[in-house]
């Protein structure tokens, strides 16, 4: 049984807890949470994080109110060069590898 993905997610939370001690205040923690949400959204949508965050912050600073266009999936449609295609390929390869492992398991070798 492999649970590396779960362990890595738990490691992020543990590291985050230690780093969040230094947010400074409740308002600082809320700002930090908002920024981490922005970064996580970019990662989940396979975007170049730096380009996405920079563009979103720049547009917000100039007073843009088109919040729907700043959502990662909408932003990706207008900035196809910022999509990290290698991440899409990695996910597809991992999925194919898991499916092949499942198919190669011997019947009756798993616990009931």
Q: Whole-angstrom Cα distance, residue 57 to residue 100?
A: 43
- Per-residue confidence (pLDDT) for residue 2, from 0 to 100: 62
- Per-residue confidence (pLDDT) for residue 106, from 0 to 100: 64
SS3 44: helix
- Per-residue confidence (pLDDT) for residue 1, from 0 to 100: 57
Could you tell me the CA-to-CA distances from 40 to 36, 37, 45, 72, 103 in Å, in that order? Answer: 6, 5, 9, 10, 33
Where exactly are the structural domains of the chain? Answer: 28-100
pLDDT, average across residues 19-29: 76
pLDDT, average across residues 18-46: 82
Q: Is the pLDDT of residue 12 over 70?
A: yes
Average pLDDT, rounded, for the chain: 82
- Per-residue confidence (pLDDT) for residue 53, from 0 to 100: 92
Q: Is the pLDDT of residue 17 over 60?
A: yes
Higher pLDDT, 14 or 100: 100
- Per-residue confidence (pLDDT) for residue 60, from 0 to 100: 92
């Amino acid at each position: 049984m492999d649970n590396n993905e779960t362990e890595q997610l738990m490691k992020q939370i543990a590291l985050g807890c230690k780093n969040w001690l230094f947010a400074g205040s409740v308002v600082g923690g809320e700002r930090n949470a908002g920024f981490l949400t922005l970064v996580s959204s970019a990662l989940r949508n396979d975007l170049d994080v730096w380009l996405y965050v920079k563009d979103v912050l720049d547009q917000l600073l100039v007073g843009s109110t088109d919040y729907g266009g700043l959502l990662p999936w909408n932003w990706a449609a207008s900035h196809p060069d910022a999509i990290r295609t290698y991440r899409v390929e990695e996910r597809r390869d991992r999925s194919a590898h898991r499916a092949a492992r499942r198919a190669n398991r011997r019947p009756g070798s798993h616990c009931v």
